[in-house]
């Protein structure tokens, strides 16, 4: 895709992407590296992390750590600083999801998603704070439209992502002026694990886009561009916001037409 950002924009920066070993977050990590950043990606599966780092190239690190384990995340962050010397950008994007009604979900099932998404985001941001290169550091949480719009079969993710949105706002207040904290809320993004779980059987060109103002699913690369913007100096006065990179999905159903006379 065509990008408005110049090569070398992130030269000299170091980025840590929690949940960056696949999908949208891997796309963000790749774009950071293309623009010159040193990158570390983290997920639970060590083989997946190693493969992601190889795919990113440019000396990227791939490490295994569970965002539910504060000490493990702190260790991965410290290893990143040891390798690259500093830390400028942190993305918290690890998430878990499955479709289930509230009564089909055990307490542990609910807790598991809240632990990964919400508590994981607290852990990542809490653990990185004193390692950040300030002023100018930028934190980005990956949230979702479910934070705002309730959705059946998604009580765990709706609650967790709503919590993430509020955590972004609180940290923006507590950690300014030297650290900016924002979120990105992707819409339906083609070719992702999230869409295969939440919209099984649907595809990006399957005619399900009428409701979306921009009439299509998004691309991983488009979410990555939003992340670059938020951590660039072009966003120097932007903090505490949730950037909806969703084709207008959150506005509601855009498919309504005048009824036949
Ligand atoms: C009901 C389920 C379930 C299901 C798991 N559980 N799947 N309950 N329906 N389909 C229950 C289990 O029975 C268990 O409860 C509890 O959840 C924990 O399950 P584990 O398998 O032990 O957990 P864990 O190994 O930690 O795995 C976490 C996971 C898994 C979330 C369950 O799916 C995962 O690792 N997901 C990561 C990848 C992922 O989900 N990517 C998509 C993110 S997309 P009991 O009571 O039996 O112990 C996304 C989209 C946002 O976030 C919005 C898009 C529009
Ligand atoms: P994905 O490919 O499944 O990515 C999830 C990543 O998180 C993987 O790297 C996974 O690696 C890691 N992860 C999961 N649990 C973890 C844990 N406990 N600790 C550390 N890492 C963990 O998902 P995606 O669809 O691209 O979604 C990425 C983000 O975008 C999520 O925050 C999601 O909520 C958000 N989002 C997605 C969509 C969409 O259309 N897909 C829409 C809105 C929002 P391991 O499995 O190896 O741990």
Which residue has the least CA distance to atom 34 on ligand 1?
96
CA 55 – ligand 2 centroid, Å: 17
Q: Which residues, 6+ apart, have CB-to-CB distance to 177 below 8 Å?
A: 135
Distance from C-alpha of 139 to C-alpha of 124, rounded to nearest angstrom: 10
Q: Is the CB of 112 under 6 A from ligand 1?
A: yes
CA nearest neighbour of 20 among 120, 145, 170, 102: 120
Which residue has the least CA distance to atom 50 on ligand 1?
194
Q: Are 15 and 37 in contact (CB under 8 A)?
A: yes
CA nearest neighbour of 127 among 179, 59, 182, 76: 76
Which residue has the least CA distance to atom 9 on ligand 1?
100
Q: Are 187 and 244 in contact (CB under 8 A)?
A: yes
Q: Are 53 and 60 in contact (CB under 8 A)?
A: yes
Distance from C-alpha of 224 to C-alpha of 168, rounded to nearest angstrom: 19
Q: Can you give the residue ranges of every domain in the chain?
A: 14-251
User: Which ligand is closest in space to the CA of residue 76?
Assistant: 2
Distance from C-alpha of 84 to C-alpha of 14, rounded to nearest angstrom: 7
pLDDT at residue 206, as a whole number: 74
Distance from C-alpha of 29 to C-alpha of 92, rounded to nearest angstrom: 11
Q: What is the DSSP letter of 6?
A: P
Q: Is the CB of 197 under 6 A from ligand 1?
A: yes
Which residue has the least CA distance to atom 3 on ligand 2?
193
pLDDT at residue 208, as a whole number: 76
Distance from C-alpha of 76 to C-alpha of 79, rounded to nearest angstrom: 5
pLDDT at residue 204, as a whole number: 84
Give per-residue pLDDT as tens, 216-235: 999 999 999 999 999 999 99
Which stretches of the chain score pLDDT less than 50?
Answer: none
**pTM score:** 0.98
SS3 state at 138:
strand
Give per-residue pLDDT as tens, 59-98: 999 999 999 999 999 999 999 999 999 999 999 999 999 9
pLDDT at residue 68, as a whole number: 99
Alpha-carbon separation of residue 149 from 2, 140, 145 (angstroms) = 31, 21, 6
Strands, DSSP E only, in 22-60? 38-43
Q: Are 44 and 64 in contact (CB under 8 A)?
A: yes
Q: Are 226 and 27 in contact (CB under 8 A)?
A: no
pLDDT at residue 30, as a whole number: 98
Alpha-carbon separation of residue 224 from 1, 35, 185, 206, 218 (angstroms) = 11, 11, 12, 24, 11
pLDDT at residue 42, as a whole number: 98
CATH class of residue range 14-251: alpha beta
CA 213 – ligand 1 centroid, Å: 30
What is the DSSP pairing of strand 14-18 with strand 38-43?
parallel
pLDDT at residue 119, as a whole number: 99
Q: What number of other Cβ atoms are within 10 A of residue 9's Cβ?
A: 18
Distance from C-alpha of 228 to C-alpha of 31, rounded to nearest angstrom: 8
């Amino acid at each position: 895709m065509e990008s408005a950002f110049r090569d070398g924009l992130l030269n000299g920066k170091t980025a840590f992407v929690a949940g960056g070993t696949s999908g949208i977050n891997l796309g963000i990590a790749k774009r950071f590296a293309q623009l010159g950043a040193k990158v570390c990606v983290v997920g639970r599966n060590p083989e997946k992390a190693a493969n992601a780092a190889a795919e990113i190239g440019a000396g990227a690190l791939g490490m295994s750590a569970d965002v539910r384990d504060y000490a493990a995340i702190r260790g991965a962050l410290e290893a990143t600083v040891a390798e690259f010397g500093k830390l400028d950008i942190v993305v918290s994007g690890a998430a878990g999801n499955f479709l289930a009604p509230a009564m089909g979900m055990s307490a542990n099932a609910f807790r598991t998603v809240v632990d990964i998404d919400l508590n994981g985001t607290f852990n990542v941001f809490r653990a990185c704070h004193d390692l950040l290169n300030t002023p100018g550091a930028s934190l980005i949480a990956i949230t979702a439209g479910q934070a705002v719009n309730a959705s059946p079969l998604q009580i765990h993710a709706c609650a967790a992502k709503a919590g993430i949105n509020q955590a972004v706002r609180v940290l923006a207040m507590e950690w300014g002026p030297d650290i900016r904290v924002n979120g990105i809320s992707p819409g339906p993004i083609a070719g992702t694990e999230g869409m295969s779980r939440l919209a099984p059987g649907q595809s990006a060109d399957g005619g399900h886009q009428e409701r979306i103002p921009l009439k299509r699913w998004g691309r991983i690369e488009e979410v990555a561009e939003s992340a670059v913007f938020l951590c660039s100096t072009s966003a120097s006065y932007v903090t505490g916001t949730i950037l909806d990179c969703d084709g207008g999905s959150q506005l509601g159903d855009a498919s309504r037409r005048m009824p036949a006379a």
